[in-house]
Each structure stands twice: as C-alpha cells, then as structure tokens.
C-alpha cells in the first residue's frame, strides 16, 4: 500500500521531550513521520477522534508505541492504541512496534512481543533502529515495487474541450447582453440570432446595427475549435468568413481555462497569437463594441 506516513508515533505527553527528538531525527532523514506538533495546521478544526483513528488504523506503515505508566492511563493513547490494534489484527506482518520507558503492563500488548528498552537508548539511537526497520521493509519489496524513476509533477483537471468551447460562447453572449441592457437609456439594444450553427449577436443603437459578432464551434482547427467573425456595422461576409479562431486550453501559468486566440482582425491584432482569460477576452470584445457605438460612421 501507499501509506501517507512511514511511521506514526503514539506516546503520552510526559514523554514528549524524548519523542520529539526521535521525530526530528526521523524527519531529518526524509522519513514521513506522524508526530502531532508536525501536524498542527492539519489537525486544526478536525474531529480528532475520527482523524486519529484514520492515522493509526490506516495511514502509517508502522505504529511506534512509547509505553509507560503514563501511556497506560491516558484517554487519547488508549484511543490510538485501540485503532492500531484493530489494524494489527489484519496484518500478516508486524505493525505495532513497542518501545518501553518502564515495565507497566499495557492492555493488548503481550509480554511476548519484542520491544526496545528506551532506558538503554538515546533518542537518536532509537530513531536509527526505526530507520533500519523501514529499510528491511523496503528490501522485502519485489523488483517492480523497488523500481524508482522520476514521476512528473502534474495536476489533473477535469476538462472537456467541447463543453468548455460552448461554455465560452454562452459566457460571451450572456455578458455582452447584460452590458448592452445596462445601456438601454442610451437606446442601445442587442439581438441574439442562431444561423447555421452560429450564435449571432447584433448590437443596435438608434435603429442602426453598430456591431455584429458571430461565434461558432468547429471547422478551423478541429471539432472543438472556436471561430469568430466580428465587424463594425452590418455583416458583409460569405458563409465561411472568419477573422479569428482559437481553442480553449488549461493555462498552467494562470491556473485557469484560457482561450488561445489566433487573431486576424477581430481585436485589431493582425496575425497575433495570444492567450486570454474569459474576462480578458470579454473586455477586449467589449472595447471593440464601445468603439463601434462611439463611432459617427
């Protein structure tokens, strides 16, 4: 299994000074160790009863128990021990690794289980034994399990290019309509038409078409590509006229969906290829519409 932690430490607060040195030594050696003070932010606000059960029952390769008279009397160590023991029942190999500060009998920990006497070990010496135990476990792996190679750091995104393309068209259409509606006092209105698979927007002022914008999917690059034809005034184009095209992609730099646009004359950037967020693209189109509305021609 791929465990979140190599080892989880279970101890009473009275032994923290010793245990913390063990935890710090292990962490300095690259060991993934569950020690409460290393997890302050993670534990903050969680239901600790449930969360600690997950840690000690499922998420560590080994549980090291620091046994003592104080360990035997604490409520939380009892909870951690019971979770670890539930896991141990299902394990074919050792999971609980006992270490003793004294000879106090601990329920469920049989005297026949091998343990380390901490009265004879410094924290660093004991941590070295844990490292050796982990190495033994690694050495038992099959060649396939031992094989290591670089695994790229990648973020998985749920991404459907067809849905994202349609979503962009809907976004642009709805937002331009909202903005035009807010200019109704200036006699600005907008009509939305559907023609041959195209979404056609016509911005009208004083009875005159000031700007025309058509948006549709497919045809230029592939079935999920976006095509645009935007022009001041009435459209005067053939059925396949286009003055920009692009694709919706995921931008690692901006950490969001963007449109990779090849602009001929839609935004005035002749032959320029550029990435726009949805908001940037909307604002660039709106600037063209405002230019058309302000034009006297």
Percent of the chain at pLDDT exceeding 90: 44
Q: Which 3-state string (H, E, C) describes the chain?
A: CCCCEEEEEECCHHHHHHHHHHHHHHHHCCCCEECHHHHHHHHCCCCHHHHHHHHHHHHEEEEEEEECHHHHHCHHHHHHHHHHHHHHHHCCCCCEEEEECCCCCCCCCCCCCCCEEHHHCCHHHHHHHHHHHHHHHHHCCCHHHHCCCCCCCCCCCCCCHHHHHHHHHHHHHHHHHHHHHCCHHHCEEEEEEEECCEEEEEEEECCEEEEEEEEEECCCCCCCCEEEEEEECCCCCCCCCCCEEEEEEEECCCCEEEEEEEECCCCCCCCEEEEEEHHHHHHHHHHHHHHHHHCCC
In terms of pTM, does the model score above 0.75? Answer: no
The whole domain housing 121 covers 5-146
Q: Is residue 152 part of a domain?
A: no
Is residue 61 scored above 90 in pLDDT? yes
Rounded mean pLDDT, 249-261:
80
Domain stop point among 146, 180, 200: 146
Q: What is the mean pLDDT of residues 213-221?
A: 81
Mean pLDDT of 40-54: 90
The answer to whether position 153 is within a domain reads no
How many domains, in total, are found in the chain? 2
Q: Is the pLDDT of residue 150 over 80?
A: no
User: Quick check: 35 and 89 in contact, CB under 8 A?
Assistant: no
Q: Are 202 and 119 contained in the same domain?
A: no
- Residue 158 — pLDDT band, cuts 50, 70, 90? low
**Among 16-30, 135-149, 246-260, 265-279, where is mean pLDDT lowest?**
135-149
- Greater confidence (86 vs 157) lies with 86
**pLDDT score of 145:** 46
| In-domain check, residue 151 | no
Task: State the pLDDT at residue 250.
Answer: 81
pLDDT of residue 268: 80
Query: CATH code at 89?
Result: 3.40.50.10140
Does residue 194 sit in the same domain as residue 74? no
pLDDT tens string 4-25: 999 999 999 999 999 999 999 9
């Amino acid at each position: 299994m791929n465990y979140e932690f190599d080892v989880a430490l279970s101890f009473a607060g009275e032994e923290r000074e010793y245990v913390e040195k063990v935890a710090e030594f292990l962490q300095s050696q690259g060991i993934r160790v569950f020690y409460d003070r290393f997890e302050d932010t993670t534990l903050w606000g969680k239901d600790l009863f449930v969360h600690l059960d997950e840690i000690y029952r499922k998420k560590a390769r080994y549980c090291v128990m620091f046994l003592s008279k104080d360990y035997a009397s604490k409520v939380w160590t009892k909870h951690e021990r019971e979770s670890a023991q539930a896991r141990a029942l299902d394990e074919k190999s050792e999971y609980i690794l006992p270490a003793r500060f004294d000879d106090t009998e601990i329920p469920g920990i049989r005297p026949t289980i091998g343990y380390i006497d901490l009265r004879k070990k410094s924290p660093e010496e004991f941590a070295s034994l844990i490292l050796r135990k982990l190495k033994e476990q690694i050495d038992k792996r099959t060649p396939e399990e031992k094989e290591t190679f670089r695994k790229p750091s990648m973020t998985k995104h749920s991404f459907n290019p067809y849905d994202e393309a349609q979503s962009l068209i809907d976004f642009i259409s709805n937002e331009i309509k909202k903005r035009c509606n807010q200019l109704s006092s200036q006699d600005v209105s907008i009509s939305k038409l559907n023609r041959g698979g195209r979404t056609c927007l016509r911005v009208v002022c004083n009875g005159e078409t000031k700007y025309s914008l058509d948006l549709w999917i497919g045809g230029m690059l592939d079935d999920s590509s976006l095509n645009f034809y935007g022009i001041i005034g009435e459209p005067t184009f053939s059925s396949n006229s286009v003055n920009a095209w692009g694709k919706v992609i995921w931008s690692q730099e901006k950490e969001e969906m963007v449109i990779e646009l090849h602009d001929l004359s839609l935004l005035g950037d002749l032959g320029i290829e550029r990435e726009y967020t949805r908001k940037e693209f909307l604002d660039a189109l709106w600037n063209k519409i405002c230019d058309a509305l302000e034009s006297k021609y």
